[in-house]
Amino acid sequence: MGLFGDRYIGEFEGHTIELLRNNWTKTLKLFIDGEEAAGDTCHLPVAITLTATLENDGVAHEVVARAIPHSVIFTRDTIEIDGQELPLRAEDPKGNTPVWAMVLIGLSGVAALAGVGVLLTKVWR
């Protein structure tokens, strides 16, 4: 599980199926061919099941994505199509804040606190 979220991608007969977890917005979303097919919030580590339908050559296929927690911070994420588990590859989540930006934000916060501390010591003397 990534710090900012997870993104798992699978392929089914030319279609791209993605499961995206965003730890900032506490959401879990299922995408089929880039379009959001299902989503839910995940504020606590509970089992979440998302379902959608994928149409391929006039045939409807049931897509089921599951996020099953097995400890406080780890989950097992799967996507099944018509009951068969899809092989998934993990990739960096799109649209989440990169690590370098978070470090920069943290450093600027520390610098701001240090500046306030210096001002307060000068005022109170």
Same domain, 99 and 80: no
Same domain, 74 and 107: no
**Whose CA is closest to 36, among 13, 18, 15?**
18
Same domain, 87 and 100: no
Same domain, 37 and 11: yes
Average pLDDT over the chain, rounded to whole?
A: 84
Same domain, 36 and 82: yes
pLDDT at 104 > cutoff 90? no
Between 106 and 13, the higher pLDDT residue: 13
Range of the domain at 47: 5-94
Between 23 and 111, the higher pLDDT residue: 23
Label residue 98 by pLDDT band (50, 70, 90). Answer: low
Same domain, 23 and 51: yes
Same domain, 67 and 114: no
The pLDDT value recorded for residue 92 is: 73
Same domain, 104 and 63: no
Same domain, 69 and 109: no
Direct distance between the N- and C-terminal alpha carbons of the chain, in angstroms, rounded to an integer: 49
- CATH number for the domain that contains residue 19: 2.40.128.180
The pLDDT value recorded for residue 75 is: 82
Q: Residue 72, Cβ neighbours under 10 Å: how many?
A: 7
Same domain, 60 and 15: yes
Percentage of the chain with pLDDT > 70? 78
pLDDT tens per residue across span 29-76: 999 999 999 999 988 778 999 999 999 999 999 999 999 888 767 788
* Count of structural domains within the chain: 2
Residue 8 has which token pair?
């798992």
Same domain, 56 and 86: yes
Percentage of the chain with pLDDT > 90? 47
Same domain, 44 and 66: yes
pLDDT at 107 > cutoff 80? no
Beta strand residue intervals within the chain, DSSP E: 5-12, 15-22, 27-32, 35-41, 48-56, 59-69, 75-81, 84-85, 89-91
Label residue 103 by pLDDT band (50, 70, 90). Answer: confident
